[in-house]
Structures are given as structure tokens and as C-alpha cells.
Structure 1
Amino acid sequence: MQLVVARIGRAHGVRGEVTVEVRTDEPELRLGPGAVLATDPVTAGPLTIATGRVHSGRLMLRFEGVADRGGAEALRNVLLIAEVDPEELPDDPDEYYDHQLMDLDVVLADGTEIGRITEISHLPSQDLFIVERPDGSEVMIPFVGEIVTKIDLEEQRAVVEPPAGLLDPAEAETAAAGDEAHGERTAAPEPDREDGAR
């Protein structure tokens, strides 16, 4: 199975080094020197990592055969793809690969169907499940422990306890109007990040 593990960013310096946007929780495993990665577009690769280092909080890579800034710039926005055994599991039992979570049914604790996961969006602050509802509409559910209370791969489902308004914006507006009528309005706390999807 192929998984996108990074996207190449800008060239850095004049010796072929590039910044990369990491899309895996295991960069030391997937993006280490010697790793051979497929690419999207296919014509850009495969690429073999020659060196890697962290500079100002960003991962920098240099690939074999790419020795100057021009060669590095030509790789900008190329996706790096690793071949992963579909049976492989993360070391942490509370973490999951994207392919394990795709197509899971999303339900409330009482079994009420919400939809199914069609995409996982990795944002700087947290990961989001993009869930397609039975009527074809989509809802975004933050992948944090307070909301996604259980992932059951055997049953192929994710159990959620969404806060008011997450699934039904009209519900949130009604609640906000009620708070204003009582002279108080409470902002929802920022959810903590919980790295889970890879």
C-alpha cells in the first residue's frame, strides 16, 4: 500500500536541499537517508534520500542526483510516497494510519449513524475527519479524544460525542441565542491536539 509521507517545498541554499512538509508521524522511519520514495507526479521519481536534517524546526532533505538549486526547485510540490505493508500498525496503540481510518462508519454512542470517513485532513493544530453523511453533505469532525471517544477497527467504526452545533450549525445558533438572552456567552475551549492519523 502506498502512503503520502511528505510534500516537497522550497529549495534551501544552492546545493540541492529542499524543505518538506511532513505528512507522517514517523519521519525518522519514512524519510531517513537511504529511503527510496515514489513520487506524484511519477515522472519526478523515484527519489532516494541522501541526507536529512532539521533547520529552524523544518525538515530539510537532499536527494541523490539533485546537486543544485535549480534541480531542487524543479521538485517543488512533488508528493513523496512510501510503500507500507497494509498490516503494519503504529507502535502507539492510540495512533492510526490514514488507511485504517478511511471508510469507517461514524456513529454516536447510542449507535445513531452520522456517516462515513471519506478523507482525513492534517492541519497544523489537529487532524480532521471529513465525514460524508447519508444525505451526501459533509461534516468535519476534529480527531481529538474529547470528541472521537473510540476507534473500533474490528467493527469498522468511530464513536463520537460531538459538542452542540458540530453536526448541526442551526443547533449552535439556537444555543448561542439562548446564551445571549441570558446575558452570557461562553466560547468553546480550544481542543488539545491529539496526533492520531498518519
Structure 2
Amino acid sequence: MADFEEVIVTLQTSTEVEIHSWAGNDDALPLIIVAPDTSPRDWDEFVSYLSPSHSPLLARVTSPLELLMLIWEIGEPVLLLAQGPEATEIASETVATAAGSISSLIICDGELSDGQLDSMHEIATLILRGRQNDVLSHESAVCMHDALRHSILIEPENCANFPAKDNPDAAASAVNWFIAGPGNDSPEFDEAEPVDPKA
């Protein structure tokens, strides 16, 4: 099990946000995980497989404003991982209102509505959907991928609605591949087909 530290961050709005931080190197970039109704232990194994280039934080934010204020406290754009529908909504609203606050986005088993897709700024996005998901259909995930110009869709096997917990190795492999990927401006990234990183 990975060791994490629990801290309380007081935002400029005087709201206190609970953060669970796993150890990372001093040069690591922040990776904020927004995942209501999960515990740090749900993320331990996944975090242990992540590239040391990013330092993961599980943030107990409840609104786009809280997320934006937390990013402001961090002081630099972050890679954001949103797990589930509620987190996806918070992430999409943050991208829509503060484009520069999030450098890249990972959506895990959440669905963006047409309105959310239309309001979001272009951003490199990984759509991570477990193949055995019974909430987000493959067709819906493909529609999101088609609508997001700079997106990639990865559907790991042996994953239901929580890839980082159901198959942490495959989920982390997908995230690591995305982090090290060809970047925002590559036509290969724009035109990428859905892939399984373990295939």
C-alpha cells in the first residue's frame, strides 16, 4: 500500500478542502483526482503504478469553484482525473470557465452532455472507460471521443465503473501512456482510435 498524507487546505473563500497526497519527487507535476465517494485506499494501488512525473492528490472538492480555488493555491495548471459523473461535471465546468487552469483532463466513466461538450475549451483529454462498465456505454464513450478534438479513448479489459480500482495496473498504464503521449498538436493524437493499453 502506498503511503499518503492527509492535509486540510483553506481556500481564499475560507472553505476547507480535505486533500490526500501521495509522496512524489520534488519536480513532479500535480495530478488532482476528483472522485466523490471514494477513499484514498481505493487509489493506493493505482497510484503506485503511476509515472513519477506526476504527484497525485485526491481532493474533496464539491464544486468547480472549489476546484479552481485549489488549483489557484497550487499555483500552476494541473492534470485532472475525474472519476464518475459528479466529478466529470465539476471538471467540465472548470474547463469551460477557466481554460488555463487544467493542462490535460482524464475522464473515468463519466459522460459529458452535448451542452458540456459545446462549452468546454479544447483540451487534451483521455476518456478511460472500463469495458465491463454498466453505466457508460461504449457508444456514448465513442461519441464523446468524436466530439472532443484532442481526445483519446481507452477501454481496458476487466474494468467496470472504476478502472483505477478494478484494474489499477491497466488504468495506470493508460494514464502513463497519455501523460507521455504525443501531445496536443500531433495529428496522430487527434485521429487516434480507441485502444486497449494491455492488448
If each structure's strand is expressed as a fraction of its own residues, which one has the higher value? 1
Please confirm whether the aligned pair reaches a TM-score higher than 0.5, indicating the same fold. Answer: no
Q: TM-score, normalised by structure 2?
A: 0.24
- Which structure: greater helix fraction? 2
Greater CA radius of gyration, 1 or 2? 1
Q: TM-score, normalised by structure 1?
A: 0.25
